[in-house]
Structure 1
């Protein structure tokens, strides 16, 4: 008997026989279908230091102008062009290198779904959302979200997304803290997140 076996034997003797494993693990997971409260999403996003704008679909360009007017932005190739004002210099992403995207002042994307309870927005790399890199590298992210894309809970969101697509989950601007809890924004993504919640007139 070596030292390892001796030590483990003493531990087993001290603890006695292990209890039998349960036949089944109870899982009280909530199902999808909860009622949506848009105000909960707005509160969560504001708590996370995102800026929330509410407007009609026809007014999105005005909001983008307020946030990024006069600046250079990268956009996914399938972004609706009527969301862009004439004041921004928009470049459609065509597999640009990270260095080219880093030269841009901001990005405008759509979204796949948003979760009110957690204040989380999910992008799934659809043509109006683009590659993950364009939503992570620029300093300002303007994300346009239709009110009918908002669900109540995580199970509701999982029922809508395709798990085989590259999903990016966003809860506010990028933020991290050191051991002394000093908050630093912009390390892992944009420092500024603007969420534009739209309804149709």
Structure 2
């Protein structure tokens, strides 16, 4: 039996099963109540940013703070301390961010393969939004973040978050800023997993080291 025939048979059964179900004329967006809390408690902007830093650290991300003027020098020091010889860049990353970096700059290309990216030491990106209550960074494939694979294959990821513009308190607030049609990547700390003995192994399906730079702009 071909896959096309199997698919039509399954869909036919679903249609028959739903034949006597009344059609819901109310759009889904209005049918589901959205009256849940969008933020837990009331926090100042400064406290929201501190909560983000605390939760990022709880997930074993390394957190740094700097100003716009300090960012190029800090990125250069972080890459040097990691021993980075090559760093992959999204196409829309501001050029001045890497002006002090002493490493080979690798541009993200559609033709880049996973083995090629695996030979790159680090990646530097911006972000779409950062969630304080969960310590989560969200990427959406914008020009300063690039395609998903450049943040999954290299072993070291430095993510720059603009404070306070890109920081929100909660996941509902983050969802209000994001386009669901874009390729969203939600990052809570470095990649890690545990086996049946609960031995933690990092770097299994993403970067082993995540550094987050909170830039006061």
TM-score range, shorter chain: 0.7 to 0.9
In the alignment, structure 1 residue 126 sits paired with structure 2 residue 137: no
Pick from 108, 116, 141 the counterpart of residue 157 of structure 2. 141
Partner residue, 1:157: 174
Contact 1:107–1:135 (Cα < 8 Å) also in 2: yes
Cα deviation digits, residues 76-126 of structure 1 (max 9, x gap): 010011111231211110111111111100000000000000000000000
Q: Does 1:91 align with 2:91?
A: no
Q: How many residues align?
A: 177
CA–CA distance in 1 between the matches of 2:68 and 2:118?
A: 28
Report the TM-score, using the length of structure 1 for normalisation: 0.83
Structure label with greater radius of gyration: 1
Q: 1:14 corresponds to which residue?
A: none
The residue aligned with 1:7 is none
Q: Aligned partners of 2:216, 2:32: CA distance in 1, in Å?
A: 43
Q: Distance in 1 between matches of 2:171 and 2:134?
A: 8
> 2:138–2:185: 8 Å Cα contact kept in structure 1?
yes
* Secondary structure in structure 1 of the residue aligned to 2:69: helix
Q: Report matched runs for 1:1-20 at 5 Å.
A: none
Identify unmatched segments of 5+ residues in structure 1: 1-23
When the two chains are superposed, the root-mean-square deviation of aligned CA atoms in Å is 1.9
**Structural mapping, 1:80-119, within 5 Å:** 80-84=94-98, 85-95=100-110, 96-119=112-135
